[in-house]
Structure formats: structure tokens, C-alpha cells
A and B are shown apart, each in its own frame.
Chain A
Amino acid sequence: MASTIRVRATSSGDTTEVQALIQHPMDSGFVKDAKGDLIPPHFIQQLIFEHDGKNVFVADWGTAVSKDPYVKFSFKSGKKDDDLKISWVDNKGASDSTTAKIQ
């Protein structure tokens, strides 16, 4: 199955820039469907980036994060070909994870 997580991590000098795009509806609980019923909230609560056994970035998200969320950050100490592990869990207990190589 194709992962819901797309990541690009590029190392330049002593910093690694990470951009991640995740496929997720991020339903806020305020939007109605075609029949006029409220679509219940369904959103990623926590997104974690791990490098070398340590968390380098943790996102706590609410319903106000856009559908198919995007996030960008940078950290020190990443090297080319290092593994970067990304995992998320949503408010319904679903989760996904992937491991990307730093380029």
C-alpha cells in the first residue's frame, strides 16, 4: 500500500531540511456532507519525526490544520543516507509510519 506520508529530507552543510506532506482528510467536525449531516472530526493529533533514536520534531495538531497537511522544519546533525522515521496517529487511533533516507 502506498504510504500516506511523502517526505523530502535534504542535507546541506550541517542542517537537514525536512518537508512532509501527508494524505489525510483532517475533518474539522464543522463541515456538512451532501445530505446536510455533520462529518465527524477526523484529524491527525500527533506527528513525530525521529532521527538516530531521538525525536527531532513533534507536531501536536488540532482540527484547524489543512487537509493533506504540509509541514517544513530543519534540524542539525542529520547526514546524507541517514534514516528519518516519520509516524502519525489520528483521533480515531489510525496511524501510519514510514522511513525516509536523507538526501
Chain B
Amino acid sequence: MTSAHNGFPATRRLILQGAATVALVGLGNLPFGLAPAFAAANDKWPEDAFKAKGEADAIKALYGKTAEPSDKVKLDAPEIAENGAVVPISVTTSLDNVTTISFLVADNPSALAASYQIPPGTMPSVANRLKMAKTSNVTVIVEAGGKLYSATKEVKVTVGGCGG
């Protein structure tokens, strides 16, 4: 077992978790130049970004900059989702050097739904299932080469997935 794994149950403190992950990177035989970026990408869970209410605030909290729309980001989401509790959404992109992919649902109580770190060697393509409170724009942000690219699509929700 690695130290990173043992760190999880022992404490919820994410700082320790981050430190353990850095230790793990040391074992990983990574080329030296990659190591700092890799360690940074494994930083703690971005609590501020997940707590941010609006889409713009969440993007700012997560990345500290704004995204530009790009037709190289292909967002696949249904026109109409009958059940807002399970909305299948996926993204692929032809951009190079992708480091993160994030999904935001603008009108959810917290806009940021999921953020994925894409290490070198992993394809910039993710499929997942998200909850949507109501009809809303879904935005995906792709971070590639230090810049942010986005694609947005409106998904109509018949039954919301966030309340009783």
C-alpha cells in the first residue's frame, strides 16, 4: 500500500492528503520536468470552487481566469432530460495538452458539478452523469496549454434532481 492510500482513512484533512499524494509522485518515476505540474494538479479538493453559487464565480474560484468558447470542445448532452437526477453528459476535444476538464450546471445551487484532472497520456474525453435542479445551461471548461476553452448547451429538465 502506498502512503497516499493510507492517508485517506486516517484523516480528512486534505492538506495531509495532498502531501501524501506528492510523496506518491516521488515513487512514480516521473520525468523531473513533469513532477511539479503533476503535484500541483493533485492539489486538494477545490472546496471554494464547489461552494461558489454562480457559474462565473465557480470558474473564477477554480481557475482564476475566464474561458473562451471553442468549437474544438464537443459537449454531448441531451436536449431534454426527463429525470434531472441522472443526466448523461460527456465531452471530447481535439485540443492538445489538456490538463483539466470541468462540468458546470449554471442554475444548480452550486454551479460546479465535477472537475477532472487529465494527466499526460490520458485522453481528453470524459463521460459522466450529473444532477440538474431545473432547465439550465450546461458548460464544460477544457483547460489546454494553460488556456480555458468552453462549450455550452441548454438542457431542458422535466423533473428536477435536487429537491424533494
Which A residues fall within an 8 A CB radius of B?
15, 26, 28, 30-32, 45-46, 52-67, 69-77, 87, 89, 92-95, 97
Contacts and interface: CB of A to CB of B under 8 A. Distances in A.
B3 interface: no
Interface of B: 5, 8-9, 11-12, 17, 21, 24-25, 27-30, 38, 41-42, 45-46, 50, 85-87, 90, 105, 108-110, 112-119, 121-123, 125-133, 161-164
A67 B131 CA distance: 8
B113 A55 contact: no
Contacts of B116: 57-60, 73
Interface of A is mostly: strand
Contacts of A67: 85-86
A61 B118 CA distance: 14
A46 B41 CA distance: 13
B128 A72 contact: yes
